[in-house]
Amino acid sequence: MFPIGDENVGQRIRPYVNWSLIAINVLIFLYQSALDQRALRDFIVTWGTVPDEIADGRDLFALVTCMFLHGGWLHIIGNMLFLWVFGDNIEDTMGHLKYGVFYLLCGVGASLLQVLIDTDSRIPLVGASGAISGILAAYLVLYPRGKIRTLMFVGLPFIILIPAYLQIGLWVVMQFVNGFLSLGVRTAETGGGVAYFAHIGGFLAGVALVWVFRDRAAQARQLAARSGNRAFARTAVGRR
């Protein structure tokens, strides 16, 4: 299942911060793609979050920089797709500055939980997934019945509308299940896997922080607009 759009009725501000985050991630990834293997490895180790260094109180700035690095084309395409679909609604609900701070705090929270779970690891953590998990948490809390336009493949591709509580809820369950199944499983030092506890950490940070960062009036405006419009109805404005 791939989310490709959602309800955008009721929004009043343009998501400049969300667009900027996507642009920064893409530009840094293109820079990574131009590096040779040795330079890329050094770049990832320098700017990614290495758990045992963070546990020792070293290189704490990497908790921020790691969320702007990615491990491959599928990694960044998937992350930026989720950020594009869900981030604009949350920025509208929080405002530009608070949304940017919320995003960064969720990303830091994501890395910290993964560090706590795997303190001795020397494998760098990279990716915006943790921060985006916080965005998903905020969306689930604020707009649980929001309709998500989803691309599915069952033999042939087709598009259906799925409520946020179902789509994001299933994703959350998968992260917790895979995360606990991964406990005690070590990957080779030369490679890594999915940092499920970073996803969980970002999600939990989002659930906790959304109550502080949301603008009640903006949330009420979006909810009122959603209740009066079906997703992607012809009369709706601000469609993707």
**Residue 70 annotated as catalytic:** no
Percentages (nearest 5) of helix, strand, coil residues in the chain: 60, 10, 30
CB-CB contact of 63 with 48 (8 Å): no
- DSSP per-residue letters across 151-212: EEEESEEEEEEEEHHHHHHHHHHHHHHHHHHTTT----TT-----HHHHHHHHHHHHHHHHH
Query: Which of the following is catalytic: 111, 121, 133, 199?
Result: 199
- How far apart CA 70 and CA 37 sit, in angstroms, is 14
In the three-class reduction of DSSP (H, G, I as helix; E, B as strand; rest coil), residue 3 is classed as: strand
Which backbone phi and psi does 171 adopt, to 5 degrees? Answer: -60, -45
Query: Letter for the amino acid at 54?
Result: I
Q: Which residue has the tokens 């690095």?
A: 69
**Residue 96 annotated as catalytic:** no
Provide the pairing of β-strand 156-163 with 2-6: unpaired
Name the DSSP class of 148: E
Query: Which of the following is catalytic: 96, 129, 182, 227?
Result: 129
Q: Which residues are catalytic?
A: 129, 199
